[in-house]
Chain A
Amino acid sequence: MQFPILSVIVFTPMIAGLLILLIPADRKTEVRVAALAAGAFALVLSLWAYFSYDIAAGGYQFVEKYAWLPPLGISYQVGLDGMNAPLVLLTGIVMFTGVMISWGIDDRPREFFAFLFILATGVFGVFVSLDLFMLFFFYEIAVFPMYLLISIWGWKVTREYAAMKLTLYLFIGSVVALIGALAMYFQAGLHSFDMLAISLAEQAGAFNTAVNIFGRSIPFQTFWFPFVFFGFAVLGGIFPFHNWSPDGHVAAPTAVSMFHAGVLMKLGAFAALRVGIMLLPEGAKVHMPWIICLTLVNVVYGAFIASVQNDFKYVIGFSSVSHMGLVAMGFATLNKQGMLGAGVQMFSHGVMTALFFAVVGMVYDQAHTREIPNLGGFRRVMPLVAIAFIVGGLVSMGMPAFSGFIAEFPIFMGLWNGHPSWLWNGYGWVAIIAAISIVITASYIIRIIGKVFFGDIPAEFEGHVHDVRVLDKVALVFLSAIMLVVGIYPTIIVPLVESGVSNILRLLGGA
């Protein structure tokens, strides 16, 4: 039998979390070391899975399937394809660096790492899941630890409000999507939650029926697609349901912000793709033209809001909304370039935003303020942090030779290529307007670099701010290096994502 690598990746954090809970509460160093070991283990395994995926063969690999509840057709089924392989790797990276960044947490670190790892198991589980029920199961596991992590270890000012808001938003989204998924399950009539089987049933025309609502007959896919898509896209931060996200980012402790913006938001976008677009492709074709307009609001409005924030962390929070809008936009084009770009953008943005939030956390830990006008000159005390932030900033602006370029360029290409039936001249105008966001992004990134890292250190910080820990530096170098490697040598990720995209395009009928 083949080594069940995906299952090991999924359950490593959960088991590590439970073991950590058994360590006595006052042995804080042991807790941290155990957490780091688990993080490193998960990272190594996800790297191994990523690089041993056979692109030429394509399809789902490392598949494992066990019956879970046979009478209802629920199975535990995992598999890796071109779309989720980078995301599994991303989760491993963020988990590993997140543990390093959280070394300084002194209030109940045992519970902190346990909850964080349960969250990580949920994230891994959603990414590799090939069973609809299992996807929901892990999705919920990924949501509820956020409440505790934010409300216990978060920023004192807004944490209670933000944590509750975030949890309720995501919970509402997930149950709305659940209703849609149950409708699909019963409509397919297979007594199986196997997404591959449901997809085959869809291609065979099982969903070509109509839903009667208030006397009007609406095609099944057209009716249920918004339920599923928006239910998940809430977590992807789509306008107008993005409101929870900046508040959540700001209130969360550093490692949780990294997880949240770096991985969790991808979870929403990915699930919207897996369940929404891949299982209801006809519904996607009907709805995408107007959804693309929503994502345009995300991209431009998010960038504008980011540029007028004074709180360092809010800037990054809104920039996440803006960049995740690009991901949704890429998917919404429903063509090869757009989806490819979106797939790479999920990875690139995940690493970039994890780095941003790590930097914000380090600055805040030293300065105890995040008001941009009050900061300055941090280049002198923490030069490496400044360099890392500049690298992240260049990625954010989509500068060539950085991973952001590899991601954003195809998205705009996809927009030019898109030809929906009723929008004037395709999506070209969308691309033009969306491109404005790059300029705005450059403006707020450069403003932060100038205000926070250059200039003079304000007098009140003189002597009070120090350089960061060695582990923090390791984490930053690691994250920056990944973005550079992807930017310079895109072959490391592009063919992989392409193979995943071709799979989806087949479902969409060779669009």
Chain B
Amino acid sequence: MSLDASMFIPILPQILVLGLAMLILILALILPREQHRNLGWITAVGLGLVVILSLPAIPKQHVSLAWGGMVSHDWMSFSFGWLFIFGAAITALFAMDYKELGGRGEFYVLLLISTLGMMFMAAATDMVMLYLAIETTSIPLYILAGFFLRDEKSTESGFKYLLFGALTSAVMLYGFSLLYGFSGTTNLALITRAFQREGISAPALIGSLVLVLVGFGFKISAVPFHFWAPDVYEGAPTPVAGFLSTASKAAGFAVLIRVLMIVFPAVYSGTQIPIWEPIIAALSVATMTLGNLVALTQHNIKRMLAYSSIAHAGYMLIGVAVYSQLGTTSVVYYLIAYLVTNLAAFGVVATFGRIAGSDDMTAYYGLSRRSPYLALALLVALLSLAGMPPLGGFMAKVLVFASAVNAGLVWLAVIGILNSIIGLYYYLTVLKYVYLYRSDDEDKPLPVTRPYKLALVVLVVGIILVGTVFSPWFKWATAAATWWF
């Protein structure tokens, strides 16, 4: 196998991110400790440059496999790559003014390595590659979750995440090995071909499917693999929790869609409906219902957001379960809207928690008098999560429900709607604390430093753009989804 320049095009964004990570690593060694904070600017700007420099790698209409069938060069991998890069850049900004987080160069390196892993997750078309990518993503995240070494909760969070992650990853690996055993290949597309050629018994297929789903379910925090999420989000540094709940979840969805569509298409069951549709629909119902109901009772805003992010995974699973182009488009659109929105929500919590030193909802009393614009950012984020126009969450929800109605799964749409009503209730409750309740701390200053201002403005504008100017995002989402149908 000879190397030539065109072979690097499919993994150009990944190479650039890796290069940036190396640069930060070297700078972290050279620069004195007090300067490490500024690596955040370099990370954010560098990631922006990565997006621009990777423009030549925009995929053509057709899909091309590269590097011996290890990675695919298509819109799915490419557009998700942009999402991860965006999430990482914003997270770097949010982390900057945490002395123990953004003040240490290692943070940015780990963040970028994890992002690199996610980009390979979205591109992998081989089980070995997929597993490596998942581990490349997860291991830096375990460290990041436990980054505050002197904070008991943070170390607990990192350790819990590691234990859950290792367990589910082992189960998933077992599923992979079964798939390999049945088909004799690790390449996703070849597995399908082998199954079609030689046939496979339903129990074997369902068994390996369930095992694989355990690993993916953990990544997207679907019920019943969600137990880690609230504890980890609560303990982890807030910017890291935001990154976990958005980019990491998006990566999980990218893998889930790719594996379900390629390895378990509808043809095996002999009908139009793939074998996993009822399983995913059931997961979806359980995930959104449990997430929303438990979120109602939370008193810590990070735990509330954790359960709400579980619920949102449930809404997105509706789009996966309907198995149509509109459904997959709606999932990608939902992820775009959700990424921007949830990053904003965690961003406000990070900005506020850093000063106030508390994530308790009682600490948010009177926030609108203390800092009107921060309150406004939280308002926009929470209403977008609740699915109100003209914010991103509205269009995302409409698309998901529309895909369900279109596929004849009206009942699933109805359950989704009942859930979004519960969701509206607890988001409004937080807004009530922020706008209505009074607090003794109202007159205390709440400085919002420059990185936070920049990131929050970008996110709020982004939420409104996703919710009003639909066309570019929809085209993008459609491009990522078209390939499967």
Contacts and interface: CB of A to CB of B under 8 A. Distances in A.
A175 B422 CA distance: 13
Nearest to B413: A179
Interface stretch (A166-174, A404-412, A451-459): A166-174
Nearest to B403: A182
B200 interface: no
A167 B405 contact: no
Contacts of B402: 182, 185-186
Interface in B67-123: none
A108 B368 contact: yes
Given A137-B394, A144-B383, A179-B405, A152 B421 contact: no
A159 B428 CA distance: 13
Interface string B380-423: 00010010111000100010011001100010011001001100
Contacts of A133: 398
A160 B437 CA distance: 11
Given A137-B389, A164-B428, A168-B421, A69 B471 contact: yes
A186 B394 contact: no
Contact of B388 (A69, A72, A144, A159): A144
A186 B435 contact: no
A196 B383 CA distance: 31
B474 interface: yes
A72 B421 contact: no
A179 B471 contact: no
User: A-side binding surface: helix, strand, loop or mixed?
Assistant: helix
A16 interface: no
A175 B474 contact: no
A74 interface: yes
Interface string A110-132: 11000000000000000000000
Contact of A151 (B401, B414, B424, B435): B435
Given A144-B388, A171-B421, A160 B432 contact: yes
Nearest to A74: B470
A167 B389 contact: no
Contact of A168 (B405, B414, B425): B425
Nearest to B435: A152
B33 interface: no
B376 interface: yes
User: B-side binding surface: helix, strand, loop or mixed?
Assistant: helix
Contacts of A136: 389, 398
A175 B428 contact: no
A135 to B, nearest CB: 11
A16 B242 CA distance: 33
Nearest to A110: B372
Contacts of A489: none
Nearest to A186: B406
A140 B471 contact: no
B410 A179 contact: yes
Contacts of B372: 25, 108, 110-111
Contacts of B394: 137, 140
Given A69-B470, A74-B470, A179-B417, A168 B424 contact: yes
Contacts, number: 84
Interface in A137-188: 137-138, 140-141, 144, 147-148, 151-152, 159-160, 164, 167-168, 171-172, 175-176, 178-179, 182-183, 185-186
Contact of B390 (A74, A137, A167, A178): A137
A21 interface: yes
Contact of A167 (B376, B410, B424): B424
Contacts of A429: none
B428 A147 contact: yes
A290 interface: no
B295 to A, nearest CB: 16
A178 B431 contact: no
Contacts of B475: 71
B65 interface: no
Nearest to B407: A186
B353 to A, nearest CB: 23
Given A72-B474, A179-B405, A179-B410, A148 B435 contact: yes
B435 A182 contact: no
A216 B478 CA distance: 37
A70 interface: yes
A171 B424 CA distance: 9
B449 to A, nearest CB: 21
A183 B408 CA distance: 10
A172 B421 contact: yes
A48 interface: no
Contact of A175 (B368, B406, B417, B431): B417
B425 A164 contact: yes
A152 B436 CA distance: 5
A175 B421 contact: yes
Contacts of B406: 182, 186
Contact of A140 (B389, B405, B431): B389
Contacts of A182: 401-402, 405-406, 413
A137 B388 CA distance: 8
Nearest to A121: B390
B408 to A, nearest CB: 10
B366 to A, nearest CB: 11
A110 B435 CA distance: 13
A179 B436 contact: no
Candidate in B389, B402, B417, B435 with the most chain A CB atoms within 10 angstroms: B389
Contacts of B383: 144
A138 B474 CA distance: 20
Candidate in B379, B394, B420, B424 with the most chain A CB atoms within 10 angstroms: B424
A138 B389 CA distance: 7
Interface in A58-112: 67-72, 74, 108, 110-111
Interface in B422-447: 424-425, 428, 431-432, 435-436
Nearest to A143: B388
Interface in A398-453: none
A182 B401 CA distance: 9
A140 B431 CA distance: 17
B401 A70 contact: no
A3 B303 CA distance: 51
Contacts of A144: 383, 386, 388
Given A137-B389, A141-B390, A178 B401 contact: yes
A71 B413 contact: no
A148 B431 contact: yes
A70 B389 contact: no
A239 to B, nearest CB: 22
A164 B413 CA distance: 23
A152 B376 CA distance: 14
B480 to A, nearest CB: 14
A179 to B, nearest CB: 6
Nearest to B469: A68
Contacts of B401: 178-179, 182
Candidate in B394, B402, B414, B421 with the most chain A CB atoms within 10 angstroms: B402
Nearest to B473: A69
Nearest to B432: A151
Nearest to B375: A111
12 contacts: A69-B470, A69-B471, A71-B475, A108-B372, A110-B372, A111-B368, A144-B383, A172-B421, A175-B417, A178-B417, A179-B413, A183-B410
Interface of B: 368-369, 372, 376, 379, 383, 386, 388-390, 394, 398, 401-402, 405-406, 410, 413-414, 417, 420-421, 424-425, 428, 431-432, 435-436, 470-471, 474-475, 478
Interface of A: 21, 25, 67-72, 74, 108, 110-111, 133, 136-138, 140-141, 144, 147-148, 151-152, 159-160, 164, 167-168, 171-172, 175-176, 178-179, 182-183, 185-186
Give the top 3 A-B pairs by smallest Cβ distance, nearest first: A69-B470, A182-B405, A175-B417
Given A25-B372, A168-B425, A182-B406, 18 more contacts: A68-B471, A69-B471, A71-B474, A71-B475, A74-B470, A110-B372, A137-B390, A138-B389, A141-B388, A147-B431, A159-B436, A160-B432, A164-B428, A171-B421, A178-B401, A182-B401, A183-B410, A186-B406
